[in-house]
Amino acid sequence: MSARSALHGIPFAKMTGSGNDFVFFDGRHVSLERVTSPEVVQSICNRHNGIGADGIVVLESARPSADVRIHYFNSDGTPADLCGNATLCSTAMSAILGLADASGMTLTTPAGLIASRMMEGLPEIDLQPVTAIRAHMPIDLVPGEERIGFAVAGIPHLVILCADADRVDVEGRGPLLRRHAASGPPGANVNWVSPMPGGQWRYRTFERGVEGETLACGTGAVATAVLLSTWGLAAASTVTIRTSSGRDLSVALTATPSPDAGYRPILRGEGRVVFRGVIESI
């Protein structure tokens, strides 16, 4: 029996975080090994022959060290240390499943321990301090781009200030920057950001592991807010960023005394169950 045919009868939930979508499994009832091989993840995430998603998440109890352990895999089958929107969705799903108290929980990830909660119907997560902040990167700009910075918000990100994010050729420019040597061997997600009226910001992300544009990226929103603050462009301690789904992510930044970790972020946004189902065949 192939790994894909062994998926028959497995229950799942489809969730979205501002358009960043995931297939969720309850690790109490589905073994991690059964749904996380690269072949299986790619099949599940396939948008034509599978369920379709940017990644999959398996949640399991992590007591006594934390309430919940998050296992996250990109749609290409590679594991990731952190995904901001998947963690927002995990907060909501952990409360729904009774794995943790909605008023406050701890989530453990390869990127560290995260405190989170449900606030006025939306999940909110306290992320680890952002590290390796660089206001300027030695990368050539193209017309429409004004400056490029870098930060590690659980995973590495390039952030590009531009005239109009909606006019950027994300699919053309993204692959070149995603693997740029200046970002280091793992490469980086790439975010373009431009100002909107009223002090808000519009951004778009080319996401590694998906190897394409996603409608939202939680850690990308965090890295973008940090670079905007580093550049002196964010007028308030909470930065509101408009995703490609039309929904907003908010990033509250608290300064830290460390010169390398300039901000401790709190990310708030959507974590919504779209539908539930049972796998028949993939």
Tell me the three state secondary structure of residue 172: helix
Question: Is 45 a known active-site residue?
Answer: no
By C-alpha distance, which of 232, 254, 233, 250 is closest to 241?
Answer: 250
How far, in Å, CA of 242 to CA of 269, rounded? 11
Catalytic residue among 45, 89, 162, 217: 217
Question: Is 217 a known active-site residue?
Answer: yes
How far, in Å, CA of 105 to CA of 117, rounded? 6
What is the b/e burial string over 231-261, where b = at least 16 CB atoms within 10 angstroms of the residue's CB? eeebeeeebbbbbbbebbbbbbbeeeeeeeb
Unique residue bearing structure tokens 């781009």: 145
Cα 158 to chain centroid, rounded: 14
Catalytic residue among 45, 83, 89, 162: 83
The catalytic site residues sit at 83, 217
